[in-house]
Chain A
Amino acid sequence: MKILVGIKRVVDFNVRVRVKPDGSGVDLDGAKMSINPFDEIALEEALRLREAGKATEVIVVSIGTTACQQQLRTGLAMGADRAIQVDTEEKLQPLAAARTFLALVEKEQPGLVILGKQAIDDDNSQTGQMLAALWDRPQATFASEVVVDDQVARVTREVDAGLETIEIDLPAVITSDLRLNEPRFVKLPDIMKAKRKPLEVIPLTDLAIANDNKLTIDHYAPPATREKGIMVDSAEALVAELKNRGLL
């Protein structure tokens, strides 16, 4: 069984992002870029499944410019067998990303697609669900435990009420939550090995994806800064102050 893992190049979670002064976007000048942490967890899970003999090949996929080859190489150094970069200058929204994955699914015929539950740049949490719908296969989102048994996966999901365990037929889409696993560190010699692993570049245009973005972004703005509070001496003063401001 092949496993396809999506990894997105995003601004590192440690970086303090700020909106550009002209409101045209987020300033990423000199910012550290990394694999989206949820995608790193997705890849770790795929590698563990392969190491447990449940899968034979792990393919990492990223959609973007040649810059995301850096993240694909990291994925290969972690242990993926090969990588595919879908080359585009465009910033794809979730539906177009899901269509792109579908095109690759049709080409590669994986038994399982594992994606991060969301990317930490846009926080959409849509691509996995859309891919499952387009592919017309089961989905298990927000996974915190995955057990693969022949043609079935038993997945524990993190839901609002607690944990929910479901069984799905493969092929299927799984999206990873934070507690699924702790990704491994990359061993230095593996970085060298990763340089020799295959990395295929497919122009997005070759996949004939309809990229009709449904959303247009008008402008970006930082959240309003909180105004400085005042200290009051007593409960009476607090009530008076609240009344004064028409809040009581």
Chain B
Amino acid sequence: MSEREVMEYDVVVVGAGPAGLACAIRLKQLDADRSVCIIEKAAEIGAQILSGAVIEPQPLDDLLPGWRENKPPHCIPVSKDSFRLLSKSSAKKLPTPPQGNNHGNFIISLGALCAWLAPQAEALGVDIFPGYAASGIHYTEDDSVGGVIIGDMGIAADGSQKPSYMEGIEIHAPLTILSEGCRGHLSKQLIKKFNLDSDSDPQTYGIGIKELWQVKPGKSQPGQVEHSIGWPLDKNTYGGSFIYHLENDRIAVGFVTGLDYSDPSFQPWEAFQQFKNHPQIKPLFEAGEILSSGARALVEGGYQSLPTTEMPGALLIGDAAGTLNVPKIKGVHQAMRGGMLAAEHLSEHADGKGYDKALRASPLVAELKKVRNIRPGFHRGLWFGLINAAWETITAGYSPWTLKNHADHSAMQKLDNYQSPERHWIPRELPPRDRLASVYFATTAHDEDQPVHLQITEPDICISRCTQEYGNPCTRFCPANVYEIISEEKDDKNQRLQINAANCVHCKTCDIKDPYQIINWVTPEGGSGPNYQNL
């Protein structure tokens, strides 16, 4: 193999989300001479990021004082909060929990926020490279992280080189910052290699699915924030909905389900669609149209699942580490804070050593510690979870105990000894009709002639064991219908797994929830994947 071309930087950041961009901006603010680049797999900044999103603005005030005079597009102050408990036919108002009070916060599009941050980083001298996937880690001779390897382009599905083949280069840097977001594929490798999670609980996750709607005039009340719990989820499944009212008759609607659900037959995408068709919800969307849709896993493990965030030559920040605050349902302010903290640490110290300690002494982790027992309380069902949440809120997290987290994939029950709960699901009328219709609005694009980026490490298990034991749950948890079990001819008993990799929206749910942990998500050719607009 030929020597790859090399570019050198002082710091290479993987992922142009809020953590990576805040980190790069802060690095340049503190030391303009430091060379910094950001690698981003999306073809455009913000095109593969998805969040509700309501954000706390303080980190933005810190990073870019005066931003309120030059706001990102689609950014409006929250005017009203509501919190409801749904049953199949009713919606009961609940008092808004203190963590859910959004006074002073802003509704944003995280994609638009990142697209707005990027040129500000570039103006400070950060080199941003969208459309290039960091596909591997470059290790130095002493086996510490020395940068990243950019994925090759122009490789055919059979692995051969197409005429357009271009070898990816290496980017070398004394410090690599992983800000890939939840379940980053390089972060996953590094956590394993350096045993970063040996002192923490397994990370836990949720799957968030979101649509942006153009609704009929008069239905959107800009600034209004609505959340719900309850139906269509059973009491043993954690999750809930969000509806954020934007300007120009737009509404962002979404649904998050904890990936610690146990029912192998459960379909998170269907739960979201059920929610939209609830009699109290549906009128908002009737006669409207979908502008954009997508899905993304999010971290829910919090304090006790936070891995060690430093290793030789690299740091984990944002949701690549897992700093989202679940009771607040907010991660953006935490991600930005973590990014800035990493930059500040670097300006005071020669390298990343001591960052983890500084992080754990920071308000960022204090915020996580305070709420650490709320999310795991829901392992015992909705009612216990709510009472426990009230207790933890009243005691401000001073309980002498810390509840444990368990790996999500281990929560799934086998078909034999599990009876799915009665879900009381209703006929749906609102679009999209099915997951394929939904993927259409994610405008996801992958060159079909490239290696499948969803690698099954033990393909024999799928048909021989998984069909029997779990009924191939990948065909249900994937929000983009990537996995299908098919037979070549009708009545043919010889079934096989078909992976429609071109539909993938890079949410990482399969990598997380597959009960055998044999699905490995790797980066496709740079620039491939969803092209979200304002999600």
Contact = CB atoms under 8 A, between A and B. Distances in A.
Interface string B142-155: 00000000100110
Interface string B20-35: 0000000000000000
Contact of B533 (A15, A183, A188, A191): A15
A16 interface: yes
Nearest to A183: B164
Mostly, the B contact residues are: mixed
B164 A16 contact: no
A182 B531 contact: no
Best-buried of B44, B46, B111, B441 by chain A (most CB within 10 Å) = B44
B531 A185 contact: no
A14 B166 CA distance: 22
Contacts of B463: none
Contact of B129 (A18, A31, A191): A191
Contacts of B190: none
A21 B171 CA distance: 45
Given A14-B445, A32-B47, A192-B127, A185 B153 contact: yes
A189 interface: yes
Nearest to B533: A30
A32 B154 contact: no
A188 B289 CA distance: 39
Interface in B430-448: 440-441, 443, 445
A16 B441 contact: yes
A14 B132 contact: no
B164 A12 contact: no
A21 B213 CA distance: 12
B394 interface: no
Contacts of B249: 21
A196 interface: no
Interface in B54-82: 73
B109 A30 contact: yes
A230 to B, nearest CB: 18
A16 B73 CA distance: 20
Given A16-B440, A21-B249, A30-B115, A185 B164 contact: yes
B111 A30 contact: yes
B129 A16 contact: no
Contacts of B112: 30
Interface size class of B (residues with CB under 8 A): 20 to 34
Contacts of A32: 43-44, 47, 531, 533
Given A15-B533, A18-B291, A29 B73 contact: yes
Interface in A144-189: 182-185, 187-189
Best-buried of A16, A32, A188, A189 by chain B (most CB within 10 Å) = A188
Nearest to A195: B127
Contacts of A21: 214, 249
B534 A15 contact: no
Interface size class of A (residues with CB under 8 A): 10 to 19
A14 B531 CA distance: 8
Nearest to A222: B289
Nearest to A31: B533
Nearest to B132: A188
Contact of A189 (B5, B46, B109): B5
A16 B166 contact: no
B427 interface: no
B170 to A, nearest CB: 10
A184 B166 contact: yes
A14 B529 CA distance: 10
A120 to B, nearest CB: 15
Contacts of A16: 440-441, 443
A30 B129 contact: no
B163 interface: yes
Nearest to B47: A32
B533 A29 contact: yes
Nearest to A181: B163
Interface string B181-215: 00000000000000000000000000000000010
B39 to A, nearest CB: 9
A15 B5 contact: no
Nearest to B128: A191
Contacts of B163: 182
B169 interface: yes
A233 B445 CA distance: 39
Interface string B514-535: 0000000000000000010110
Given A188-B7, A188-B150, A15 B531 contact: yes
A192 B126 CA distance: 12
B169 A189 contact: yes
A185 B167 CA distance: 10
Nearest to B168: A188
Contacts of A189: 5, 7, 169
Contacts of B109: 30
A187 B526 CA distance: 12
A185 B162 CA distance: 12
Nearest to A12: B531
Contacts of A182: 163-164
A236 B494 CA distance: 40
Nearest to A21: B214
A15 B443 contact: yes
A237 B448 CA distance: 42
Interface in B407-454: 440-441, 443, 445
Contacts of B531: 12, 14-15, 32
Nearest to A14: B445
Contacts of B127: 191-192
A29 B533 CA distance: 8
A145 to B, nearest CB: 15
A106 B411 CA distance: 72
A146 to B, nearest CB: 17
A102 B289 CA distance: 44
Contact of B164 (A18, A184, A192): A184
A15 B43 CA distance: 12
Nearest to A13: B445
Nearest to B527: A185
Nearest to A192: B127
A57 B44 CA distance: 29
A21 B109 CA distance: 20
Contacts of A30: 46, 73, 109, 111-112, 115, 533-534
Contacts of B129: 188, 191
Given A14-B531, A30-B115, A187 B291 contact: no
9 contacts: A14-B443, A14-B531, A30-B46, A30-B73, A30-B115, A31-B533, A185-B153, A185-B164, A188-B169
Given A29-B534, A32-B531, A187-B169, 19 more contacts: A12-B43, A14-B445, A15-B531, A16-B440, A16-B441, A18-B289, A21-B249, A29-B73, A30-B109, A32-B43, A32-B533, A182-B164, A185-B154, A185-B164, A185-B166, A187-B166, A188-B169, A189-B5, A189-B169
The 5 closest A-B pairs by CB, nearest first: A30-B533, A30-B534, A185-B153, A185-B166, A14-B445
